[in-house]
Each structure stands twice: as structure tokens, then as C-alpha cells.
Amino acid sequence: MARPLLSGAFEAFRDDPSRPALIETGRTWAWSEFKEAVEAVARELESSPDRGPVRILRPSDSSFLVTFLAAATAGRPASTLHQDWSAPELEAAIADVSGFEADLAAEEDDPVFYIGFTSGTSGRPKPFARRQRSWSSSFGPAGELFGVEAGDQVFLPGSLQHSHFLFGAVFALDRGAAVRLFERFDSGLLARELEETSRGVVYLVPTMLLDLDGLEAGPFGGVHSVVISGAKMEPHHWEIVRRLFPRALVGELYGASELSFVSVNTGGEAADDPGFVGQPFPGVEIEIRPSGDTTEDGTGVVYVRSPYLFDGYVDGPETNSPVGPDGFMTVGDIGRLTERGLSLVGRASNMLITGGKNVHPEEVEAQLGRHPGVRECVVVGVPHPRWGEELVAFLVAADDAGGLAVEPLREYLKERVASYKAPKRWFLVEEIPRTRAKKTDRSPERLFEGATEIP
């Protein structure tokens, strides 16, 4: 049975099943043999009396993708477990999803197919569930936006355990493109293959751009589309991506595990609005609703309604959905909506309170990131007896930066944000620590390791 997730791929490869569908180091799979492998595993899963989640704990390779799509074909949810989790984390994740029971009778043609895990910067990952059409309904709009078609090669240098790259693989097959998987990120290998492609699409996170830039490789003229997610693009990221991919459409995607696509920015950085994340993705409705952070400029909580929302958080045998009766939901992000598009001020979960005033660190970081002497930065709060939380900035200096000093940095920032949002302490670090999902790790313990205070 070609359920929604794979029906497009069956059609896209129908005329020529010998075309490459999957490429990994040392092997290329034609669609016919890849399809046969998926169907063989699907038959095994269908014959099993177990209708619970299919746990996938393996490298980011063909076996991962075959098992994931076989589970979808069989109407079983696939639970993508992370190999780099600690033993207690892995045990907890397995326990969280082991009792889940997909309701196949109610929506047999659109079953829950994916149990992923939110990738917050702290706390235990929370399992969530998706139905097939929450992805398949976005394949058409995404294909038109990025021009992905049969004959393209889609490069996925990140782990399939993260939904940005996993979606990219399934979406590429739906369009009849070949998927290039990498078991681990290797910037040198990726650069060599991008130099040889004649019609390529590449999925990246911003930190990968920095690694590619460090190779002094490129430009990669055969890449026609670059899809970036996972963290906000800063001005230096846009400068790098334009230089490395001069002929490519670059799309910065904003979304969340629960929401999928929310907005897309293909125009680059907005000089007057560092929080700009683009226009709503096709099919997405966005509303800004009042909260304690609402200001006169229309800032409030970002609510989203679309066909791409998840089914809910896994809660025992069922899902617990935060989607309201009107179809809108939020993950707590704070932003504002104008005719130009959506701008983010920050995430509610990251909000700091200093001297009784709310500060979204992303707003401060966005402005600091525009300082010519700053390559990257992160602002966190540490306990303080007077302020409650003291704002502390950690900076990676630009390559051509002279000595950075506190007072010029503070004055630069105070011209752009309220004075109480300026950090009280400033440190230099060689690099910003990252979580497993390549997002900024905001834990002060890791940031203070090797940090040097700026006088």
C-alpha cells in the first residue's frame, strides 16, 4: 500500500526505476532495489503481531532510511533514537514511547508514522508524534519553492536522527531526486562532492557553513538550492552562503518539531530587523496573540495553523495535543508580524528576568552579531543577589577584530536595545558550544569553560 508518505516517490520513479534513489559512500541504490528493500522490511513488520513503535537506533545510513520508510509503509510509527544519548537518556526515551498504540482503525490511510524527540537546549527530550500527511502535504509547496525535481542530487550531511535531514531525504524521494547520505558530517568530503555536482540541493545548519568556509573551497556553482534550518542565520552566515553558493536559491527555514514549517526567508538578512525570518511558508497562517511581553509594536506570542502540525506529545498509549479548537498552537516563541513577514524576538523558554524586567537573549544576540568585531555570540543569565539574573555575554571575535573592550561594546548595544538589556559581564571564547542537534548550548557551565573575561 502506497501511503501518503511514499505515493509521490512511487510515481516519480515509475518511468525509470533504474535511476539512482540513494547514494552512500561506496554504494548507489537504484530506485528498484531500494523500493524492494523497503517492501521486504515492510512485509516483516506487517506480519508481526506488534503494532507499537519500530525503534531505530543505528547510523545515518541506508538501513536507517529503509527501516523508517518500511515502517511508514506498514502503518507502524518509527521512533528515531539518538546514538549519542547517554544510557539513562536512551532508557528513558524507550520507556516514554514503549506503551504508545497507534490508532490505525480511525485513520488507516494516514497513520502516525514518526515519533521524534524535541531538541531543547536543556531538559529531557520530549517525544512527539506525526501523521504522514503532516509531511506529505508540504512536499508540493517545498518542491516548487526550491525547484527540486527528478535528476537532482540532494546532499544531507547531517544525521537522519534530526528531522531537518530526515525530512530532506523523504522529500527528495517524493520529487524523484537522489538522496546522498553521510554517516557523519565531513566538510572535506562534502565540499569535494559539491564541486562535482551539476544539479545539487544541499541541506545545512549554520555551523556547517562555518566549517565549509574554513576549507577555502568553492564556489559550488552546480548547487541550485540551499535549505538551512536549526538556528538563526546571522549576517556572516549570509555572506558565506552567498560566496560559496553564488547561483543558489537560499532558504532559511523557521519552524519547530511540533510545527514543521512556519516561515521561509529567501531574501537574506534584513538590515533593520535582525530577527526577520521571512514570509509564512505556503499553507501556513500566523497570528500574534497578546501576552505579558506584548508591546506597542505588536510583539506577542506566535501562534500557527497549518496542515503541517504534529499530532501531539506522546503520553503513554495516546498523544496529548496542544492544538486549540481553532486549529492554532504555539511553542511559546515571541515575535511580530508585518507586511514584510515574521520577526522573532525570542523563545519564551529562553527568557531572562533581570531587575524585574524581561529580556529575550536572542534579541540582544542578533544586535551584537552585527558588530564588526563579533563573529558569534550568546547571552545567558546567571544567578545574582541583586538582579535575580545577571546578563552575561560570550563572544567569538571576528578573524580581523582588534582588541574588544567592554565599554565600546556596551555603547554599541545601548544604541540598539534598551539599556537594561545590555550584559553586565563580557567574555571571549574560542567557540560557542553546541547541543547534539547543533543548536546553541546555553548552559553557563559549558560557556565559562576556557572563557576569558573582557576588561
415: left (phi over 0), alpha (psi -120 to 50) or beta: alpha
Last residue of a domain, one of 296, 327, 345: 345
Task: Say whether both 317 and 428 belong to one domain.
Answer: no
DSSP for 64-90, please give it. HHHHHHHHHHHT--EEE--TTS-HHHH
pLDDT for 63: 96
Residue 358, beta-bridge partner list? 353
Last residue of a domain, one of 292, 323, 345: 345
pLDDT for 323: 94
Task: Say whether both 319 and 431 belong to one domain.
Answer: no
Residue type, 337: L
In 260-406, DSSP assigns E strands to: 260-265, 276-280, 285-289, 300-305, 312-315, 318-320, 333-337, 342-347, 352-354, 357-359, 374-384, 388-397
- Between CA 107 and CA 129 the distance in angstroms is 14
Task: Say whether both 91 and 209 belong to one domain.
Answer: yes
Last residue of a domain, one of 345, 360, 379: 345
Phi, psi dihedral angles at 382 (to 5 degrees): -120, 150
CB contact at 8 A, 208 and 229: no
Task: Say whether both 300 and 283 belong to one domain.
Answer: yes
Task: Say whether both 38 and 176 belong to one domain.
Answer: yes
Task: Say whether both 38 and 121 belong to one domain.
Answer: yes
| Residue 45, C-alpha cell as written in the block | 513488520
Task: Say whether both 383 and 446 belong to one domain.
Answer: yes
450: left (phi over 0), alpha (psi -120 to 50) or beta: left
Cα Rg of the chain, angstroms = 22
Task: Say whether both 303 and 362 belong to one domain.
Answer: no
| Full domain range(s) for residue 150 | 4-345
pLDDT for 90: 85
CATH number of the structural domain spanning residue 254: 3.40.50.12780
Task: Say whether both 195 and 336 belong to one domain.
Answer: yes
> What global pTM score does this model have?
0.83
pLDDT for 108: 67
- Taking 70 as the pLDDT cut, the residues of the chain under it are 1-2, 102-108, 119-124, 292-296, 356, 401-402, 436-437
Residue type, 277: V
Task: Say whether both 276 and 389 belong to one domain.
Answer: no
Task: Say whether both 279 and 298 belong to one domain.
Answer: yes
Residue 4, beta-bridge partner list? none
- Between CA 109 and CA 130 the distance in angstroms is 13
- Between CA 407 and CA 418 the distance in angstroms is 16
pLDDT for 227: 98
- Between CA 161 and CA 182 the distance in angstroms is 12
CATH number of the structural domain spanning residue 371: 3.30.300.30
Q: Residue 259: name the closest of 306, 299, 227 by CA.
A: 306
| Residue 388, C-alpha cell as written in the block | 535575580
DSSP for 94-162, please give it. HHHHHT----TTTSTTS-EEEEEE---SSS---EEEEETHHHHHHHHHHHHHHT--TT-EEEE-S-TTS
341: left (phi over 0), alpha (psi -120 to 50) or beta: left
> What total of structural domains would you count in the chain?
2
Phi, psi dihedral angles at 256 (to 5 degrees): -155, 160
Task: Say whether both 242 and 339 belong to one domain.
Answer: yes
